[in-house]
Amino acid sequence: MLTSSSLRFRLYSSWGLSAVDIARIVLFTTLTLWLGILTVGGGVLMLVPLDLSAIPWLNMDSRLLGLLLLIPPVAYLLLGVLRRQPLRLGHWQLPMTRPRLALPQLAVGALDWVMASLVLYTLLPASETLGFGHLLGVFLVAQIAGLLSHIPGGLGVFESLVLLMLQRELPAADLLGALLAFRLIYYLLPLALAAIVLGLHELRHYRERVLWLPRAVGPWAPVLLPHVFALLALISGAVLLFSAATPAVEARLVWLHHRIPLSVLEISHFISSLVGMGLLLLARGLQRRLDAAWLLAVAFLAAGIAASLLKGADYEEAIILSVLLAGLLPSRRQFYRRASLFGERFTPGWLAAIAVVLLCSLWLGFFSYKHVEYSNELWWKFSFSGRGEAPRFLRAMVGAMGVALFFGVAKLLRPAPFEPTLPGPEEKRQAHAIAAAFPRSYAHLALLGDKALLFNADRSAFLMYGVEGRTWGGNGRPHRRQRTGAAGTGLAIPRIV
């Protein structure tokens, strides 16, 4: 009801059909759908009586309902036999369908619904009280109610009515399982296949338009990649910390119990928390294109994948980390800055994001194990069973906070960067005179106001230092590889003017 008409118009118009022809096709197929379900539904209810008392708003005799359902198909056939002229509705004319076309139309529509009900009947468990005729009547009544509700696929309406009308024949759990499998086989699987075929059709006919997007986005990829990798690293770190704070799947722990020693599981769980905290801290370095951040991120991701599989067979986490690792490996050239990780400044936004993830991990762990009474002995309990989950959480969070504390102390103990004094108005005036007399144009970079200048004794020349670690070339553009000056001053290699 939501997509068929628009998709038909999209496809049929590309094949040369006019809007009027497409409207006729849509009307004919919709009519076939309804005539088919009314025909087979009315016939089944007339031949196989059905108890409709389970439906409060449909408390009537099933034979009477079947008779009412047969009225539209019979009227459709009689109109085609008795009337030759088309029906006129204002400016519209509806031609009458002759019996040689109307009868096959009803037969095809009815067969479609019978085959659909056979899918559900095959999925139901065997029952001595439930025959195919009974199931077909229930199926068609539920489908008619779903169509009238205008909910896509009658989702919820169809299942509820089937459960109500078959509650005496089969257990509700068996019915619900069969209905879910029916949705998957008869609705979701064809939908997925149709979406793939439609995508291939569009790609084949509009290849140039589709290929335009990579060409348009391509120049921006080097600019966006570090930010995307930084976000993914932050998410991956949060996933590892949240996993370390929540219980593992019991069935997977039982599976691991027969394959690895307990010490491997405990160490892997602890390492995963360290890797998670490390990825949170490295995300800022990835955003700043630091080569050390790239190298450590690759190593941490590889360790995190192994730890995720060994601590609880968490293949979902391993897949997330593998996606990030697969993207980082071929992007080595985008991380070219040789600078210290401890020297990078974390903005308030980054600090808040890391703090929120860490605090949420702590809250999630205490919420997950709120039924466990805290005691000093918890720290030293090691077990494959659920009794070892809370101690593993405590040790993991201590490890994560230890990494954060070490990183923070290391940043605090670093010497403060040298802050050069920028030139004042008099120095700028003198630099302007020197730059004007200099034969190279890059001397005018001193007038930007972000350079430190060191004049000689008679003020006939100066040394120009690029602040913020920028090294300026002769064409006025920063070099690709940025370097810091001697003694950790943060100044670039000077240029003599």
- pLDDT, tens digit (0-9, with 9 covering 90-100), for 13-27: 888 888 888 888 888
Q: How many residues are recorded in the chain?
A: 497
Please report the pLDDT score of residue 471 as a whole number. 39
What is the domain range of residue 272?
A: 221-413
Q: How far apart are CA 404 and CA 281, in angstroms?
A: 8
- Per residue in 449-460, is it b (16+ CB within 10 Å) or e — as a string? eebbbeeeeeee
Q: 337-363 pLDDT, tens per residue?
A: 887 777 677 888 888 888 999 899 888
User: Within 10 A of 349 (CB to CB), how many other CB atoms are there?
Assistant: 8
Reduce the DSSP state of residue 88 to 3 states and report it.
strand
Same domain for 244 and 274?
A: yes
Same domain for 267 and 326?
A: yes
Same domain for 310 and 393?
A: yes
Q: How far apart are CA 497 and CA 284, in angstroms?
A: 36
Name the residue among 315, 313, 318, 311 with its Cα closest to residue 265: 311
Please report the pLDDT score of residue 54 as a whole number. 65
Same domain for 186 and 287?
A: no
| Position with higher pLDDT, 108 vs 8 | 108
Q: 118-160 pLDDT, tens per residue?
A: 988 888 887 777 888 888 888 888 888 888 877 777 777 888 8
Same domain for 252 and 342?
A: yes
Q: How far apart are CA 197 and CA 10, in angstroms?
A: 14
Same domain for 429 and 409?
A: no
In a domain? residue 418 = no
User: Within 10 A of 352 (CB to CB), how many other CB atoms are there?
Assistant: 11
For residue 453, is pLDDT > 80?
Answer: no
Least confident of 159-168, 274-283, 415-424: 415-424
Q: What is the CA radius of gyration of the chain?
A: 36
Same domain for 331 and 480?
A: no
What is the number of alpha carbons within 13 Å of residue 247 lying toward its C-beta? Answer: 18
Same domain for 25 and 168?
A: yes
At 298, the pLDDT band (50, 70, 90 cuts) reads: very high
Please report the pLDDT score of residue 305 as a whole number. 92
Which of 368, 383, 413 is at the close of a domain?
413
Which of 174, 204, 234 is at the close of a domain?
204
Instruction: Specify the number of domains making up the chain.
Output: 3
> What integer best gives the mean pLDDT of the chain?
79
In a domain? residue 420 = no
At 57, the pLDDT band (50, 70, 90 cuts) reads: low
Phi and psi at residue 455, to the nearest 5°: -85, 155
Same domain for 177 and 71?
A: yes
Same domain for 309 and 400?
A: yes
Same domain for 320 and 448?
A: no
